[in-house]
Amino acid sequence: MDPSGSEITLRLARETDAGDLARLSGQLGFPITPETAKARLREALGSPDHALIVAEVGGGAAGLVELRRVRLATAWRQIEVIALVVDDAYRRLGIGTRLLAEAERWAYDLRCGKIRVRSNAERDHAHSLYRRSGFEPARAETLFEKQVGPVRPKTATFVPTSIASRRAPSTDRASAALAAARLAAGALLIVDGGLRLESGISSPGPLSADYATLGAWLPWASAAVEVVVGAVLAAGRLVGQVRRARVARR
């Protein structure tokens, strides 16, 4: 199939892209299984500091760029290109340029003043793409790595060994205030609705003459709605806390 006449569409990645992520990651030189890709997608997609953008051609994934917002105490916030890959069958269609332009738009939205990318010295074609997109070599550096192991199993009981793990998780003040207000509103609705139901409003029977009109239903229905809405608000807050705690311990 000749993809040259197909339209290029950009979208955010989803869990169903696990197979394409594994395939493209392998072309980049980092082979992973679809199962591993799905697990990583599930963990990463919910992060506000992470973006995985997929380029589609003819309904199939033709490339992707993985971005990370880096918020540092010693430097201005910036976007880092973690991975950029275009499928071998879809080269020279401008997909890489489109993905890098989308990275710039995300940087603008997040008020990040810089985009950085590390590229293997042997990837001459990638260097040409970055230069055409306005990137310039910043400095020569040596990348050091150390394989840390063994990795703590997910099933093991979490016992912090680092002072960074023991610190209290930082939360955005506005988000914390909103969550507290949500929990308080939910509790108030549950209490008020419960008291109204307990005060004498009984469930209407289908054949009861006392509830023949819509107006007779309203006290019971409004009290029940209060209890349900309050439970949803409170439960949403508690579920959010549990999820954040699980992510923090991974």
Amino acid (one-letter) located at 99: L
Residues 111 and 195 both lie in one domain: no
Assess whether 99 and 204 both reside in one domain: no
Q: Tell me the CATH number at 51.
A: 3.40.630.30
pLDDT, position 219: 63
User: Is 70 within the bounds of a domain?
Assistant: yes
Residues 82 and 183 in one domain: no
* CA–CA dist 24, 62 (Å, integer): 8
Domain count, the chain: 2
Q: What is the pLDDT of residue 138?
A: 86
What tokens does 81 get?
A: 């290109």
Same domain, 15 and 135: yes
**Cβ pair 55, 98 in contact under 8 A:** yes
Do 185 and 112 sit in the same domain of this protein? no
| 188, two tokens | 């108030």
Q: Rounded to the nearest 5 degrees, what angle is found at the Cα of 205, between the Cα atoms of 226 and 233? A: 15
Instruction: Check whether residue 124 and residue 208 sit in a common domain.
Output: no
Q: Which domain holds residue 131?
A: 3-139
Which positions ≥6 away from 162 have C-beta within 8 Å?
none
SS (H, E, C) the chain: CCHHHCCEEEEECCHHHHHHHHHHHHHHCCCCCHHHHHHHHHHHCCCCCEEEEEEEECCEEEEEEEEEEECCCCCCCEEEEEEEEECHHHCCCCHHHHHHHHHHHHHHHCCCCCEEECCCCCCHHHHHHHHHCCCCCCCCCCCCCCCCCCCCCCCCCCCCCCHHHHCCCCCCHHHHHHHHHHHHHHHHHHHHHHHHHHCCCCCCCCCCHHHCCHHHHHHHHHHHHHHHHHHHHHHHHHHHHHHHHHHHHC
Residue 99 gets the label, from left (phi > 0), alpha (psi -120 to 50) or beta, of alpha
25 & 102 share domain: yes
Does the global pTM surpass 0.75? no
Report the amino acid identity of residue 156.
A
- Let me know whether 212 and 123 are in one domain: no
- Strand order across the 8-12 sheet: 8-12, 50-57, 60-70, 78-86, 115-117
pLDDT by position in tens, the chain (length 250) = 456 567 999 999 999 999 999 999 999 889 999 999 999 999 898 899 999 999 999 889 999 999 999 998 888 899 999 999 999 999 989 999 999 999 999 999 999 989 999 887 778 888 888 899 998 888 888 778 888 878 888 888 888 888 778 765 544 556 666 777 777 777 777 777 667 666 655 555 554 555 445 455 566 667 677 777 777 777 765 555 555 555 444 4
Q: What is the pLDDT of residue 247?
A: 43
Do 135 and 177 belong together in one domain? Answer: no
